[in-house]
Structure 1
Amino acid sequence: MLLPLRSGELQKLIPAVATGNQFREALGNPRKILQRILISSIGGVITLLISQSQVASQFYSLWLVVGVVFLLFILWGPIVEAGNKNAELRKYPFAALFDGRVEDIFTREKIENRQEQANKIGKLEIVENRRTWLFLEIGDEEGYLGQVYFPMEKVHQSIRRGTSIRCIVLSQSRDFKSISAITDAWLPSQRLWVGEYPYLLRPAFEELCKFRLS
């Protein structure tokens, strides 16, 4: 079942500014965090050194500001990234609350990253880090809607076919004949949230479900 959202409801569910959950997700894995730290520290140090050589110049303040911006990249980088993700979904003209069920479940191995590593005899070989992802095919009485997928954890082993699932679907058309995007999803019977990225303000979404589906 699809229940079109009213004016302003989507903006209340997907904020323009990153939430704490979205910031942590955008911050990334240890490798991505290290990359941000390197960019922040190297860029900050270089620009601050340049600013010190420009003390008597009219551009001194500009270089100083650029240096501070680089040093704070570890903080504002994830905020900007999360904000851009939110903006991608907030731009759709039509959104609806979906109340359906899990039609099928399957897993798939996805490569997280590749890196070269020396083996016991000193020869370089490519090592792939893989992770199991869980895919949920969701639908309702009208048929198949789409997929929700995410890295699998122990808590997800309890999900079964027929489990009730709710999320927000977005489309360019008023009749939702073509679904453009699906948010993270709520499994009310298990009080479990699933999805690749936490788009929704979860307390607000749960409250919306109580109000619209009761």
Structure 2
Amino acid sequence: MKLKLLIILLISILLLSGCNKEDKIYPLEFSQTDSSKIEGLQLDNTGKIIEEKILDNERSAFIFMDNENAEFLKGGITFNGKSYYIGEVSMVDTPDDLMGIEKVEVFGKKAVKIYGILGADYAQAFYWLIDENPENSIIQVDGNTFEIDLDNDNKKEIVSTSGTIPETKIYMLKEDKVCVSDINKSIGAKSVILADKDKKLFVVYFEPNKPEEYIYDKDSFVKR
């Protein structure tokens, strides 16, 4: 009788542990991210403009090569008659498909994305929220970036992935502040990558050769 009860107890424990294993939900930790610092720029000293996106008579974004440093291309914006330097955008001679300026929408706001590569496996992007004060409107994001509506609220978030062992972050608006979650650190994963943009599907490795599929849901990562 005792043996039978013990067997039933062991089976119950195994079934419960199996359910927990298959129903993994990991809460994500978010923290506020700072705006990228910008500084005034004298256009007469910039040298050659490589690419420019004119938004209207008062606003534009551009990539340029200055006269003092020919190793990296740099980024700038013009706002209400004043120009600002935002930072290094990409290496010189970067292929056109890896560098550029695009109009996008993030956090329900109009933005311009200025992106490029600064080295092997070192992509980055600047997002300029064009309707805000330029001093607080530039967000610098490391990695390959995508704009996706993860939470189905008709406002796109930013997903970025960087490194040869992929590390992925989510940037989203919380209480009118841009916040970021490092998914790898939040859930204790070795590798996280956005595998399917349309299905919003992430592939996670907690250990080698054992991929698991997850989706974002209510500030958590939920196993598919």
With CA pairs under 8 Å and 6+ residues apart, which has the higher RCO, 1 or 2? 1
Which has the larger helix fraction?
1
The structure with the largest strand share of the pair is 2
Shared fold (TM-score, shorter chain, > 0.5): no
State the TM-score, normalizing by the size of structure 2.
0.25
